[in-house]
Amino acid sequence: MSSPQTGAVRFAAGAALVAAAAMAANVLAYGLRLSGNWLLDAGENGALGALIALLTVATVLQVGTQTAAAVRIAKGDTDPAGLVTLGVRLSVATSAVLALASPVITAVLHLPGLWPALALAAAVGPLNAAGIHLGLLQGAERFGRLAVLTGVVAFGRSGGGLIGLLVGRSAFTTMLGVAIGGGLALVAAYVLSRPVRSVRSAGSPRMGDMLGACSAMLAMLALVNADLLLARAVLPAEVSGEYAVGAILTNAAYWAPQVVGVVALPRLAQGHRRALPLSMLVVGFVGLVAVGACALFGSLAVAVAGKGEYAGLAGEVWLFAAAGAGWALVNLLLTARIAGGSRWIASPLWAAALLEVGAVLAWRPYSLTHTAVVAVAAAWGSVLVAALLARSRATAPLPLPAPVA
């Protein structure tokens, strides 16, 4: 039997591997988008950007099913094979819906034919199905295998897309590369999750858990990107372009500490009381560093995120980092609520999104600073609400045992 110190070292090593894999995944995703900027003409690149955005929304099922599966595996009350079956059904349904909607997608996004939209539908299925296998490994705390599979899925998605982009120089071949890479990644996922799938449990997976987690993750995605969409709608084109550069820093501050929630989720599901406070300290520290770095080195942050023509944004980039840091804490608290089996977890998030939209539209005159300040207020207001909800659940009285007859 391993000592507690040995177990802690293995846990930390696994967490570091998952962090490295997540960072590599983000670099690959950014590389794919940047390559499109360089290799495609404006029209084709616009189509690719729209397809990638739609891919991001459609594959929120991957994150939701991963989270729900990890919770059930950590609690040990669900048969892994049943989870895999349910994940496949949801993934096939998503691809089928997108395939049927391909004529509408083609018309709305002004695509040069049905093939790019059909390739998108083919790519979404295997990527979403891989989410269950990621969740099996996460819930079982097999972090070494989880890191490997995270890298494989990222390479299948972004690496496959990059290969397709280099070969065909079009949005269609890029999506086709994503579809092929996603299929290969799903095969690898099946192999890597085999040790967890071999464990049997009498419980059966619940569709409600999956859909609830997916709805919450979709709401989270909408919140993180709502200000960028609003800026595009209410600000002049050149100012919305500046806002898009700042939004890169929002996403960077949001995604940087995501590995904390990934590693903490099994402990949260098992009811470890120290897991959430410690995780919040780590995520909060990362956010503080991000905000401080942007405040002190705003010009450098803008130079990394965009071109020299956005230098005037340097004094306000800390606002974008502050919003991302707030959303990172909200995401962690959301993960804790999913792990605790809370219901209607997405409702406060959708309410926050509506309040943010109303605040941006009501604050005249429209400006970059006003929109960014509203985003920060929405993020940290949501942190406060999420923390109060988490505290109320943590301090709720435990149910009394039934009297013995």
Whether 116 and 222 map to the same domain: the answer is no
Question: What is the number of structural domains in the chain?
Answer: 2
Residue 360 included in any domain: yes
Q: Which pLDDT does position 54 carry in this prediction?
A: 85
**Residues 195, 215 within the same domain:** no
Same domain, 216 and 131: no
Do the domain assignments include residue 405?
no
Is residue 306's pLDDT more than 70? no
Residues 147 and 162 reside in one and the same domain: yes
Residue 135 covered by a domain: yes
Contact 265, 139 (CB under 8 A): yes
Is 81 within the bounds of a domain?
Answer: yes
- The DSSP code for 2 is -
| Confidence band of 399 (pLDDT split at 50, 70, 90) | very low
Q: How many CA atoms lie within 13 A of 372 on its CB side?
A: 24
Q: Are residues 46 and 145 in the same domain?
A: yes
CA distance 179 to 175: 6
Mean pLDDT of the chain: 84
Comparing 1-5, 14-18, 231-235, 317-321, which segment has the lowest mean pLDDT? Answer: 1-5
| Per-residue pLDDT, 222 | 84
Containing domain of residue 262, as a range? 210-394
**401 in a domain, yes or no?**
no
Q: Which of 112-126, 155-169, 202-216, 366-380 has the lowest mean pLDDT?
A: 202-216
175 domain residue, yes or no: yes
Using the 3D structure, point to which of 178, 203, 228 is the last residue of a domain. 203
Provide the pLDDT for residue 187.
95
Instruction: For residue 154, count other CB atoms closer than 10 A to its CB.
Output: 22
308 or 96, greater pLDDT: 96
| 69, pLDDT greater than 90 | no
> Is the same domain home to 154 and 238?
no
Same domain, 187 and 249: no
pTM of the model: 0.80
Query: Do both 187 and 236 map to the same domain?
Result: no
Do 198 and 298 belong to one domain? no
Which has more pLDDT, 7 or 363? 363
Phi and psi based region of residue 341 (left: phi greater than 0; alpha: psi -120 to 50; beta: remaining): left
Q: Is the pLDDT of residue 396 over 60?
A: no
Alpha-carbon torsion 318, 322, 325, 327, what sign? negative
pLDDT of 251: 85
* Whether residue 168 is found in the same domain as residue 218: no
Q: What is the pLDDT of residue 403?
A: 41
Structure token pair of residue 3: 């000592």
Domain membership flag for residue 227: yes
* One domain for residues 167 and 250: no
For residue 405, what pLDDT is reported? 35
The pLDDT of residue 36: 81
In a domain, 99, yes or no: yes
Specify whether 170 is located in the same domain as 231.
Answer: no
